[in-house]
C-alpha cells in the first residue's frame, strides 16, 4: 500500500467518525426537542423545566445545555417542529373562493380543524402566552402573522361592524366553546352565518 493510499484511508475513517458523531448529536438534539414539545403540549411551556426535558429525553442536564444553552433557541426549535408536524392553514389559498360565505366557512373550518388536532398544544401555549414573555414572543413570531392574514382574507366583504366578531371567531376559545356541540365544519358554518348577519352601520 502506498503512503497516499494509507493517508486516504485514514482520512476516510476520520470522515466516517465525524459523520457518525454528527448524526448522533443530531439524534440527541431531536430527542430533546421532541421531549420538550411533548411537555409543552401537556404542562405548558412556562411550567416545563430543564430537568423534566432531560429526563424525558434520556439525557443529562449538561447534554441538554450543550445543545440549548439559550432557552429561546429551544422554543424556536420546538415551535418549528410542532408546525412541521402540522402546519397552520395556508391562508392565501382561501382567496380562490369568493369573499363571503364560502370563503368564511372553508377558512374557519380549516382553522377549527387545526385547533381540534392540536387542542392540547394550543390550550397550553396560548394560556402561557398571556403571562410568559418568551412564549408570547414565540406565538407572535410563529402564529400571529397567520391569524392577522386570516383576519384580512376572511374579512373581505364583511361590514365594518362584523370585523370585531371575525376576530372572536378566529380565537381558539371560540372554537373550544363550539366544539362541544359542533364539528369543525358545522361550527364554521354557524360562525359564517353570524358574521354575514351583522348589518352594516
Q: Specify the CATH number for the domain of residue 46.
A: 1.10.357.10
**Are residues 9 and 55 located together in one domain of the fold?**
yes
Q: Give residue 200's pLDDT.
A: 80
Residue 93 located in a structural domain: yes
Q: Which three cell numbers stand for residue 129?
A: 402566552
**Are residues 71 and 10 located together in one domain of the fold?**
yes
**Are residues 69 and 102 located together in one domain of the fold?**
no
Contact 114, 89 (CB under 8 A): yes
Last residue of a domain, one of 66, 84, 102: 84
Residue 125 located in a structural domain: yes
Neighbouring C-beta atoms of residue 5, cutoff 10 Å: 9
Q: Which residue has the cell 372572536?
A: 168
**Are residues 94 and 153 located together in one domain of the fold?**
yes
Mapped onto helix, strand or coil, the DSSP state of residue 68 is: coil
Residue 43 located in a structural domain: yes
Q: Which three cell numbers stand for residue 63?
A: 447534554
Residue 201 located in a structural domain: no
**Are residues 110 and 36 located together in one domain of the fold?**
no
Instruction: Give how many domains the chain has, as a whole number.
Output: 2
Q: Which residue has the cell 392574514?
A: 149
**Are residues 95 and 74 located together in one domain of the fold?**
no
Contacts of 149 (CB under 8 A, 6+ apart): 91, 92
**87-120: burial string, b at 16+ Cβ within 10 Å, e else:** ebbebeebeeeeeeeebbbbbbbbbbbbbeebee
**Are residues 114 and 179 located together in one domain of the fold?**
yes
Q: How much is the pTM?
A: 0.86
Q: Give residue 2's pLDDT.
A: 58
Residue span of the structural domain in which 142 resides: 88-196
User: Computed from CA positions of residues 109, 114, 118, 124, in that sequence, does the dihedral angle turn out positive or negative?
Assistant: negative
Residue 148 located in a structural domain: yes
**Are residues 102 and 184 located together in one domain of the fold?**
yes
Mapped onto helix, strand or coil, the DSSP state of residue 164 is: helix
Q: Give residue 129's pLDDT.
A: 97
**Are residues 93 and 192 located together in one domain of the fold?**
yes
Last residue of a domain, one of 52, 84, 116: 84
Last residue of a domain, one of 84, 112, 137: 84
**Are residues 12 and 72 located together in one domain of the fold?**
yes
**Are residues 134 and 51 located together in one domain of the fold?**
no
Contacts of 40 (CB under 8 A, 6+ apart): 48, 78, 82, 121, 124, 125
pLDDT along the chain (201 residues), means of 10: 56 60 89 97 96 96 96 97 96 96 97 97 97 97 97 95 96 95 95 93 70
Q: Give residue 24's pLDDT.
A: 87
**Are residues 121 and 28 located together in one domain of the fold?**
no
Amino acid at each position: 500500500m502506498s503512503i497516499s493510499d494509507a493517508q486516504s484511508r485514514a482520512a476516510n475513517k476520520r470522515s466516517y467518525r465525524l459523520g457518525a458523531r454528527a448524526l448522533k448529536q443530531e439524534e440527541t438534539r431531536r430527542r430533546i426537542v421532541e421531549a420538550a414539545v411533548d411537555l409543552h403540549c401537556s404542562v405548558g411551556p412556562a411550567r416545563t423545566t430543564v430537568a423534566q426535558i432531560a429526563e424525558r429525553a434520556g439525557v443529562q442536564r449538561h447534554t441538554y445545555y450543550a445543545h440549548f444553552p439559550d432557552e429561546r433557541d429551544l422554543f424556536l426549535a420546538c415551535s418549528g417542529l410542532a408546525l412541521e408536524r402540522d402546519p397552520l392553514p395556508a391562508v392565501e389559498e382561501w382567496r380562490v373562493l369568493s369573499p363571503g360565505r364560502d370563503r368564511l366557512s372553508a377558512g374557519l373550518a380549516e382553522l377549527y380543524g387545526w385547533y381540534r388536532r392540536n387542542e392540547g398544544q394550543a390550550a397550553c401555549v396560548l394560556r402561557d402566552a398571556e403571562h410568559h414573555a418568551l412564549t408570547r414572543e414565540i406565538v407572535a413570531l410563529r402564529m400571529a402573522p397567520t391569524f392577522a392574514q386570516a383576519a384580512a382574507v376572511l374579512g373581505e366583504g364583511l361590514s365594518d361592524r362584523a370585523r370585531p366578531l371575525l376576530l372572536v371567531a378566529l380565537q381558539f376559545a371560540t372554537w373550544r366553546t363550539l366544539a362541544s356541540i359542533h364539528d369543525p365544519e358545522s361550527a364554521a358554518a354557524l360562525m359564517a352565518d353570524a358574521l354575514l348577519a351583522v348589518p352594516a352601520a
